[in-house]
Amino acid sequence: MKFLVKLAGDGAALPAMASRTSILLAGLGGFLAIATVAAFTDYTASALLLGSFGASCVLVFGYPDVPFSQPRNVVAGHFISSLTGLVSLAVFGAHWWAVALAVSLAIVLMMLTRTVHPPAGSNPVIIFLTQPAWGFLLFPTLIGAVVLVVVALIYNNATRTAKWPKYWF
């Protein structure tokens, strides 16, 4: 019965809404970042766009001050999660339990390295669905994440009074 009571939650109030300016700037930042990555994809004819980058933009532009949104977390989180997915696919094959194991290992490794970036947790799933070659680690994962961070670095410092990032390493 205690467990069922817990399901009702704490009844806490919703968090305060961000200002309209912050909301619009976050949306514009996400647009610019994905547009830049997508444009580089067209220009270089190399895949740089990853589905989880959209969720990365929510954090990097909507909540830039939290640890999950720092460059170290964005780049290393995506890299570790994609590497975990690729290794798991190669070692275990495309099985339902292997993708679950890959996601759990990615979570553990990001937590151990203090590079947790929640959107990156979907990278092993993307890898198991698409079954890419090892080059996926470089294109789109690493290069795409770096481009996203560069856009965020310029944009967040141009549109906010606070410095971004809070830390690098």
Q: Quick check: 46 pLDDT over 90?
A: no
Q: What is the rounded average pLDDT of the residues 53-69? A: 98
Q: pLDDT tens digit string along 87-132?
A: 999 999 999 999 999 999 999 999 999 999 999 999 999 999 999 9
Taking all residues of the chain, what is their mean pLDDT, rounded to a whole number? 97
Catalogue the long-range contacts made by 52-55 (C-beta closer than 8 Å, 24 or more residues apart): 52/78, 52/119, 52/120, 52/121, 52/122, 52/123, 52/126, 53/119, 53/140, 53/144, 53/145, 53/148, 54/30, 54/119, 55/118, 55/119, 55/122
Q: pLDDT tens digit string along 157-168?
A: 999 999 999 999
pLDDT of amino acid 1 = 84
Residue 78 contacts residue 123 (beta carbons within 8 Å): yes
Q: What is the rounded average pLDDT of the residues 53-70? A: 98
pTM of the predicted protein model: 0.96
pLDDT of amino acid 38 = 97
Using alpha carbons only, give the angle 33, 137, 35 rounded to the nearest 5 degrees. Answer: 15
Helix axes 96-112, 71-92, angle to 10 degrees: 150
